[in-house]
Chain A
């Protein structure tokens, strides 16, 4: 299931200005995968986006990808 982490990393790195500070922790449960994403403080706005658009687009793609394996996913930006 490493591909969700890679997907998160790819999307986050492409959006932020400090790609080297992007971190993703993946915690896999029975049916739920939690992805904890952290970015540089001044990239918070970019990763969330206007009205949450960037974060929501990332969540949609992660959800679609996880649904293929019958899993649910929760992206937390911390």
Chain B
């Protein structure tokens, strides 16, 4: 399971193409990685039944780039979060989507900041029509109901949280969840916390007829995560500068990637961009 974090899955028409794309993305040569062929791919007939070739590239330990960033992420997370290991039940379709294509597209820091991390296109953004109390009360009620049905006893307290955004940004409504043994509510790579937040946003937004950027937090996880991510970003930036090579971080949610972009926005010697698609997007720190 540890290897999964630092390895890169790439798909293309053929195994060779996938390997080449992956090496290019990692900025490594063939002898610096372990190559595992996950799917050899099929041609199919007239494109029907064809499958893309999928390979997994894992940088060898002596390679500076990924292994160190990975170790740092592990230690940073170990230091700040006590998470139970929920077994990874990665569904097949997810894997296929995640490795679908290696798409390198620039996501400038400013762009990343301007976009609310989870804004959904189907519900128009409409900021000032509803009194905040209504949103807070309805969000609290929905979250309590979800937790109750999940069989989890916890307190939900809504608050406006300037501590969870950067100065000058509009503070979001946060629902703080407190109680005993709430590690399961965070889950592996905060998957459960994100799901909970997404459901609450959907429920409230549907009632309010406008997209609500509500944050669900468990035992101050968000603040700790913000801190450890920005510290890690700065360490990785130093590493990129001293080695002169780009550092590819592990795949993260849009919200987490944004924290990294913001943390290094004013760094004199590096710039950042996100590469990869969907759940496989990774921040890359590039020396100037």
Interface size on A, residues (CB 8 A): 23
Given A14-B142, A68-B151, A61:B199 Cβ within 8 A? yes
- In B166-201, the 8 Å CB interface with A consists of 184-185, 187, 191-192, 194-196, 198-199
How many angstroms between the C-alpha atoms of A14 and B187 in the bound complex?
A: 23
The main secondary structure of chain A at its interface with chain B is helix
In the complex, chain A residues whose CB is within 8 Å of the CB of B94: 56
How many angstroms between the C-alpha atoms of A3 and B112 in the bound complex?
A: 39
**Interface membership of B23, Cβ < 8 A:** no
The main secondary structure of chain B at its interface with chain A is helix
Q: Please list 28 pairs of residues, one from A and one from B, whose beta carbons are closer than 8 Å in the complex, sorted by A's number.
A: A3-B149, A3-B150, A6-B149, A7-B146, A7-B150, A10-B145, A10-B149, A11-B199, A14-B142, A14-B199, A14-B202, A14-B203, A14-B206, A15-B202, A15-B203, A15-B206, A50-B121, A51-B97, A53-B198, A54-B202, A57-B194, A58-B195, A58-B199, A64-B150, A65-B151, A67-B86, A68-B150, A68-B184
Indicate if the CB atoms of A52 and B195 lie closer than 8 Å.
Answer: no
How many angstroms between the C-alpha atoms of A6 and B146 in the bound complex?
A: 9
- In B122-167, the 8 Å CB interface with A consists of 122, 142, 145-146, 149-152
Indicate if the CB atoms of A57 and B149 lie closer than 8 Å.
Answer: no
How many angstroms between the C-alpha atoms of A69 and B152 in the bound complex?
A: 12
Indicate if the CB atoms of B149 and A7 lie closer than 8 Å.
Answer: yes
How many angstroms between the C-alpha atoms of A25 and B54 in the bound complex?
A: 37
Indicate if the CB atoms of B278 and A51 lie closer than 8 Å.
Answer: yes
How many angstroms between the C-alpha atoms of A8 and B97 in the bound complex?
A: 25
**Interface membership of B36, Cβ < 8 A:** no
Indicate if the CB atoms of B198 and A52 lie closer than 8 Å.
Answer: no
How many angstroms between the C-alpha atoms of A63 and B88 in the bound complex?
A: 11
How many angstroms between the C-alpha atoms of A29 and B26 in the bound complex?
A: 45
In the complex, chain A residues whose CB is within 8 Å of the CB of B86: 63-64, 67
